[in-house]
Amino acid sequence: MKIIANKEYLKIKRRSKLSEIFMCMPLSVWVVCLILLPLCYLLFMSFMTKGPMGTIKYVFSVDSYVRMLEPEYFSVFKKSLYIAFISTVVNIVLGYPMAYFIASKVKMSSTLMLMLMLPFWTCALVTIYSFVIMFSNAGLINNFLMALGIIDKPIDMLYNNFSVSVGMVYELLPFAVMPMYSSIEKMDKNFIEASKDLGAGPIKTFFKITLPLTKPGIYAAIILTFIPCIGYYMITDMLGGGTTLLIGNVIYNQFTAARDWPFGAALSCILSAAIILMMFIYTKLGGDLDNLGA
Is the pLDDT higher at 290 or at 61? 61
Confidence of residue 9 (pLDDT cuts 50, 70, 90): low
Percent of the chain clearing pLDDT 90 (strictly above): 20
Average of per-residue pLDDT values in the chain: 84
Dist. CA 263–CA 229, nearest whole Å = 21
Taking only the tens place, the pLDDT of each residue in 185-238 is 888 888 888 888 888 888 888 888 888 888 888 988 998 899 888 878 888 888
Confidence of residue 159 (pLDDT cuts 50, 70, 90): confident
CB atoms within 10 A of CB 57: 12
Dist. CA 221–CA 95, nearest whole Å = 9
pTM, to two decimals: 0.83
- Beta carbons of 174 and 182 less than 8 angstroms apart: no
Dist. CA 278–CA 232, nearest whole Å = 17
Residue 255 has pLDDT above 80, yes or no: yes
Angle (CA) 106 110 114, round 5°: 145
Taking only the tens place, the pLDDT of each residue in 83-107 is 999 999 999 999 999 999 998 887 8
Confidence of residue 46 (pLDDT cuts 50, 70, 90): very high
pLDDT of residue 65: 92
pLDDT of residue 12: 61
Angle between helices 261-284 and 215-231 (to 10 degrees): 170
pLDDT of residue 2: 47
Burial of 280 (0-12, 13-18, 19+ CB in 10 A): exposed
CATH number at 68-293: 1.10.3720.10
Is the pLDDT higher at 14 or at 110? 110
Dist. CA 125–CA 122, nearest whole Å = 9
Q: Which of 133, 108, 223 is closest to 175 using CA atoms? A: 223
Domain regions of the chain by residue span: 68-293
CA 156: distance to chain centroid?
28
Taking only the tens place, the pLDDT of each residue in 110-132 is 888 888 888 777 777 888 888 88
Residue 44 has pLDDT above 80, yes or no: yes
CB atoms within 10 A of CB 37: 11
Q: Which of 241, 235, 49, 230 is closest to 136 using CA atoms? A: 241
Residue 17 has pLDDT above 80, yes or no: no
Dist. CA 224–CA 131, nearest whole Å = 23
Q: Which of 216, 211, 190 is closest to 291 using CA atoms? A: 216
Specify the 3-state DSSP secondary structure of 57. Answer: strand
